[in-house]
Structure 1
Amino acid sequence: MSRAHENTRRKTPAGAPEPSASAELEVDALDLEAQGVARREDGKVVFIEGALPSERVTASVYRRKHQFEQATLTAVLRESSQRVRPACPHFGLHEGACGGCKMQHLHPAAQVAVKQRVLEDNLSRLGRVRPERMLRPIEGPAWGYRDRGRLSVRYVHKKGEVLVGFHERRSRYVADMRECHVLPPHVSALLLPLRALIGAMEACQTLPQIELAVGDGVTALVLRHMEPLGAADLQRLRAFAQVHGVQWWLQPKGPDSVHLLDEAAAIPLSYRLPEFGIVMPFRPTDFTQVNAHINRVLVQRALGLLDVQPHERAIDWFCGLGNFSLPLATRAREVLGVEGSEALVERSRQNYRLNAGARGVFGPLAPTRFVARNLFEMTPEQLAADGAAEKWLVDPPREGAHALVQALAGLCRAPVPGWAPPRRIVYVSCNPATLARDAGVLVHEAGYRCVAAGAVNMFPHTAHVESMAQFEYAG
């Protein structure tokens, strides 16, 4: 494929040594970044992009450190039985390859097994926790699953062309993408039309990104623009929306500036949790899960593990829009949702009111209250003030819930009158390292058992590991 960049491309990252002569290596494992892990005869670890466990390969080193080296695969001498042909022509190790995926060369079932092992290793090594049982991993469609995404836009002066897509592997450049197999097919089909649209706009040089959000029946595109858009450009956007059936949102400044191009006839973005009779409206810049299919299964499993009874109170920590809170309200006596963002708390309240007023055959929702609080500064005193609850759902960002579990451990060691530890906690995680850290606190300091844990393949073909764990109070 011809290159669309205006400068001479580097063969190696900035500051890296020139590739060394290829060395033969045996690959033993796969790391968190989907790199093959090998050892030289002197014991030095080599991380090899594109290599898989059990393979014998040759690799070219592009980065040397005292304790490890990073290398790129140059040839496979003995191939893994799990190696498959990537579906996407933009995936690979070649110059300009898209960096959106890292595992398309590994069979999807093997990807899930790797992520399950990553979870187990983190729990054991970082948290000194061994789950009593491993849950079957949650899996879903391997392709066309990505309902959220941030597409970079770049106008290339030398070629007079526009690129729209993900960044290249280990690069700030935008990949020359013409299709994407992890995006929904109808979104993948928009990549070339979007290039043509942006290229025709007067503001083509000041449009850095397009954010994607797919709801049930609505595809929203958020255009970031660094200067006001003229009437002709706005008309081009409207014509594109009419032809391709999308909804344009504009972002002139920060996330709070996002607004619909045309408010009048816009269909609200939303997704459904049909098992609970819940509809969740959202804005395209709100946090929602990337994979709608997996999210539905995730919510079902989390509530199944939590097993909330009609007489019990439940707390949903880091509740966001109410993705777990509202389903919990179909089961519990009372629900408290706690979130750091006041804007998200207000939207969760709106979502509760919307669903509470339209239950029909699903029955009423339990009384539910949402509050905004900095959960990274939680104290035992604040935790006690929130009251006792039999069941907790914890769904933090990548930083984890360390302050929360530390506060819980403090109260478990020195309980206050009228408060009791939750009998069961389900922790949903997007970072196995912080889950393992927090699991260690729950098990070794707060008196909990780790009853079960399992991986969630929210992002097929990437190295991202989602997971969940169930804890029972044993103190």
Structure 2
Amino acid sequence: MARKRLRKKTFSETPIKITIESLAHDGRGVGHVDGKVIFIDEALPGEEVEFVYTDSRKDYAEGKVVKLLSRAADRVDALCPHYGVCGGCSFQHVESSAQIRIKQELLAEQFKRIGKVDLPELWEPLKGPHWGYRRKARMGVKYVAKKNRALVGFRERRHPYLAEIDNCIVMHPMVGTKMVALGEMIAELTIRDKIPQIEVAIGDEQCVLSFRVLEPPTDADKERMRAFGHEHNLSLCLQPKGPDTIVPLDGEPEVIPTYALPDLDLEFKFRPAMFTQVNYEINRQMINRVLETLKLTKDDTVLDLFCGLGNFTLPLAKFAGKVVGVEGDQPLVNHAKENARHNGITNAEFYAADLSKDLDDQPWAKQKFTKIMMDPSRAGAADVLQHFKKWQPEQIIYVSCNPSTLARDAGILVNELGYKLVKAGVMDMFPQTGHVESIALFEK
């Protein structure tokens, strides 16, 4: 049976005037037309704009600005010439300090609306570099035969196509300035149309680029890649299947990226596809804030949930009597143990466990913990919070990359488990984007 072709939606190209009333959680402007809510890219509260529709659903519609009729005080001209086409950034039209203020206001609003919790005190935002900060990324690759060119970078905004960009000023310059050179090298390979993506992993000094390859490269391909890596001081690897298949080119040494916390005399090793924070300056400040807040002593037994490769666990172990790190991914747990050995940390234990499941049969979960640190994924930590009834920690520090799920979980901690939200604030982990990284302190 022939497949039914989906009909592409068409919209009127006639611009419509609208006044922007507020911002959505992802940074888009919000207004109404005939009672229907419209989310509009690159529009700021108080502005009057003309827009065209890009999508329309039953309960809402989406659009893009075609003309500014009035300009908000927070608006600036984007530095990147690809802004608006490339989907990597969504906030370059907002002045840097205003980006932080907007995110702080969003966090407080989410606590109140979703968690039904008032925020008594705001932490001073953690600030870092606004450009060239990103050290982890997954870049798309697309060979365009008609142009004999390989595009390298990120998807277009709200489209599946790869944006045609020549550099990225948000990426660390070690990679952000080499988009064109990478594309030119790939276009010379026999497998140029068999490379869908590149995993970027930049340490303090090392950079590993892992090329996902759908077919094995020829010896000549490998030599071209090897020469490119040597010329640009990059370690190029091949990834034929999943993340655990990443290997260096034949004859090349395996480069293990590292990042350090100099104040704590700690160094972390990580594999290219493993999760690490993208912004090292903010990560260091974030860890220091956690340590300053918890005021750990050797009498403390700390639980670090969603511990990853030990980013918080090892710093906590420097001051606490004992720290237990728990993570759902076994390879990450193995690497956390390796990082503990590498740094001479002997008072940290690591366990692999699915934190969305019942934990009663887990030996580590039968302990008491004076304090708990957690840094979950965007889905939050709702499933594990019921176990806090048994652990009864005095303090909880919650680091979040999603203010909506943080607010939901704050509602559980405050309204169901008897904790008080003491303080919260944002950390500028992702400048020029709508992503909000935040931290909150709860006390019994």
TM bin, normalised by shorter chain, reads: over 0.9
Report how far residue 388 of structure 1 moved: 0.5
Shift in CA distance, 49/385, structure 1 to aligned 2, threshold 3 Å: closer
Q: Which residue does 2:40 correspond to in 1?
A: 48
Paired AA for residue 28 in structure 1:
E
Partner Cα distance (2:210, 2:433) in 1: 24
Is the contact between residue 380 and residue 408 of structure 1 (CA under 8 Å) also seen in structure 2? no
Name the SS of the counterpart of 2:100 in structure 1: helix
| Residue in structure 2 matched with residue 6 of structure 1 by the alignment | none
Structure 2 SS opposite 1:352: helix
User: Paired residue for 1:255, among 243, 248, 252?
Assistant: 243
Distance 1:430 1:378, change over 3 A: farther
> Is 1:375 matched up with 2:355?
yes
Residue equivalent to 1:89: 81
Q: Does 1:444 align with 2:415?
A: yes
Alpha-carbon spacing, 1:378–1:266, altered in 2? closer, same or farther (3 Å) = same
Q: Over aligned residue pairs, what C-alpha RMSD do you find? A: 1.7
Shift of 1:68: 2.2
Residues 73-472 of structure 1: pairs in structure 2 closer than 5 A: 73-92=65-84, 97-261=85-249, 265-356=253-344, 365=345, 367-379=347-359, 382=362, 385-409=365-389, 411=390, 420-472=391-443
Distance 1:448 1:23 in 2: 48
CA contact (8 A) 1:153 1:164 kept: yes
What are the Cα deviations for residues 356-375 of structure 1, in whole angstroms up to 9, with x where unaligned? 0xxxxxxxx45111111111
Whether the 8 Å CA contact 1:331–1:366 is kept in 2: the answer is no
SS in 2 for 1:206: coil
Distance in 2 separating the partners of 1:138 and 1:78: 31
Q: Secondary structure at the match of 1:471?
A: strand
Distance 1:32 1:14 in 2: 30
Q: Distance in 1 between matches of 2:80 and 2:125?
A: 25
8 Å CA contact retained: 1:335, 1:366: no
Alpha-carbon distance in 1 for matches of 2:7, 2:356? 36
**Counterpart Cα distance in 1 of 2:257 and 2:411:** 39
Q: Is the 8 A contact 1:19 1:62 kept in 2?
A: no
Q: Indicate if the aligned counterparts of 1:314 and 1:334 stay in contact, CA closer than 8 A.
A: yes
Paired residue for 1:10? none
The Cα of 1:384 is off from its aligned counterpart by 7.8
SS in structure 2 at match of 1:121: helix
Q: CA deviation at 1:232?
A: 0.6
- Output the CA distance in 1 between the equivalents of 2:406 and 2:230: 45
- Post-superposition shift, 1:379? 4.0
292 and 385 in structure 1: CA distance in 2 versus 1, 3 angstrom threshold: closer
Q: Which residue does 2:50 correspond to in 1?
A: 58
* Contact preservation (8 Å) 2:174, 2:207: no
Say whether 1:68 aligns with 2:60.
yes
SS of residue matched to 2:386:
helix
TM-score, length of structure 1 as denominator length: 0.89
Q: CA separation in 1, counterparts of 2:252 and 2:164?
A: 36
Bigger drift between 143-152 and 118-127 goes to 118-127
Percent identity between matched residues is 40
Unaligned runs of 5+ in 2: 1-5
What SS does structure 1 have at the residue aligned with 2:183? helix
Go from structure 1 to structure 2 and tell me whether the alpha carbon gap of 1:102 and 1:383 turns closer, same or farther (over 3 Å shift): farther
- Shifted more, 15-24 versus 431-440: the winner is 15-24
1:7 aligned partner: none
> Which residue in the other structure is 1:417 paired with?
none
- Please, which runs of 5 or more residues in structure 1 have no aligned partner? 1-12, 357-364, 412-419
Counterpart in the other structure of 2:3: none
Measured after TM superposition, the shift of residue 265 of structure 1 is 3.8
1:166-201 CA-to-partner distances (Å, cap 9, x unmatched) read 011111111111011101123122111101100000
1:95-147 Cα deviation digits (max 9, x unpaired):
xx111101111111111111112211111111111122111111211100110
Query: Any conservation in 1 of the 2:414–2:420 contact (CA below 8 Å)?
Result: yes
